[in-house]
Each structure stands twice: as C-alpha cells, then as structure tokens.
Amino acid sequence: WALTLDDVVAKIESNYKNIAAFKGSFKQKATLKTLNRVQESLGKLFYKKPNKFKWQYMNPTEQEITSDGKTLWIYLPENKQVYIYELADNQGIGNEGQIPGNFLNNLGDLGRDFNVKWGTPKERDAQGNYIIELVPKSPVANIHDILLVIPRDITTNPSSAFPVIASTVRDAYGNTTNIEFTNIEILETLDGKVKAKKIGGLPDSIFTYTPPADVEIIKPPLTK
C-alpha cells in the first residue's frame, strides 16, 4: 500500500529517534556544475547522539570531519591543515552545508527546520523507494534543498532500522552532493536495547580529535 507523506515522515522520525549510535560506510558523488567536475569518494561514518559524528574519507583523498558536539575539526592531510570550529550558543558555521550528512541531526524532527514535500521531479525511484524533499525554513549556507531516499518497506522494518538509503544535497547553483549509505549497523538504541554490545558500541573518544604536530591550525570566525 502506498504511504502518505505524513506516514513516511512519521516513520522516519520514529525510527531515527530510537537510534542512539550507528556506524557504516558511504559512497559520495559531488557534481560541481559551476566547475564542470565530478568528484567521487568512499569512506566510513560514525554517529552517536547527541550531535557526535565522524566522517572518514579514505579514497581517493584522505579527509576527516569530527565533532564531539561542542567542537568541529576538519582535517585535510593533503593540505596539512586542520579547521577548528567551536560550536556554542546554537551557532552554526558558514560552510555547514558542506558537512556531509549534516541533516542527520534533524531526522528525529524534520518539521522543525524543514518544509517537507514529495521529491521532485519524482516521488519514487526505480525500486519503489520513497523520495522526499526537504527545504530549509531558514537560509542555510550551500543548501537549497535535500532529497532523501526512504526504503519502500519502512513500515515493516524494525523501529531501530536506519530510515535513509541515500541523500542528495542541492545548492542554489545546481551543484549536488549525493551520499549512498551502506552497511549501516545500529549499535545502540534509546529504548534500552543495545546492539552489538560485544564490540563495545561507540566510545566517546572516537569523537575527539588531536591535530598532528606538523599541521596548520585554522580557526575561522563563527557565523550564524
């Protein structure tokens, strides 16, 4: 049976609210229309509520984006640079739209920050998965809208199942960043059931970062 938009949104939110920690892999494809260039990357991701995450790019260029919820580190080994942002007083950073999967922090309450509608130009992909479109209620740097691919069997998946297959962030200039999520493993849930406890879940130490001694430290000013 086809779900209504409200049904899909409600299921995304309920599933994600129940997830406390997860890890997995991703495949990213950035299409830079303004430069007529396509960049493809592979890596691993780690998330833990509230607001802790790590994105490790492994191929073709190494890069690491880490946050403990208070500080954000962006490490660029090729440039020998680390960008450090102190996230305080609900301030964002000017290039927050370039942080991969930044929308994941909002999946538990989509209506708070986004106007939600069916995806355009289509509501389903070739496999019958649902596509929804998120439009920020307030301007966000480098984000015009976000398309999410939601599994067609979302109503039959367990409440702890990861509710997103892929995402596409589009900016006002026609540039896009597509991320496909694979091998997502739910490690902890908020209802008290702990998955994969035998491997220790995700310790908080994963989400802190100590810059190497030979890199340049850059601390740009925060912007709303």
| Per-residue pLDDT of the chain in tens (224 residues, 90 and over written 9) | 578 999 999 999 999 998 889 999 999 999 998 889 999 999 999 999 888 999 999 988 899 999 998 899 999 999 999 999 887 644 444 445 456 677 888 888 999 989 999 998 889 999 999 999 999 998 887 889 999 999 999 988 887 789 999 999 999 899 999 999 999 998 888 876 655 444 557 889 999 999 888 999 998 865 54
pLDDT for res 198: 42
SS (H, E, C) 68-135: CCCEEEEEECCCCEEEEEECCCCCCCCCHHHCCCHHHHHHHHHHHHEEEEECCCCCECCCCCEEEEEE
Which amino acid is it at 64? E
- Strand pairing class (216-218; 81-86): parallel
User: Mind listing the pLDDT tens digit for each residue in 13-46?
Assistant: 999 998 889 999 999 999 998 889 999 999 999 9
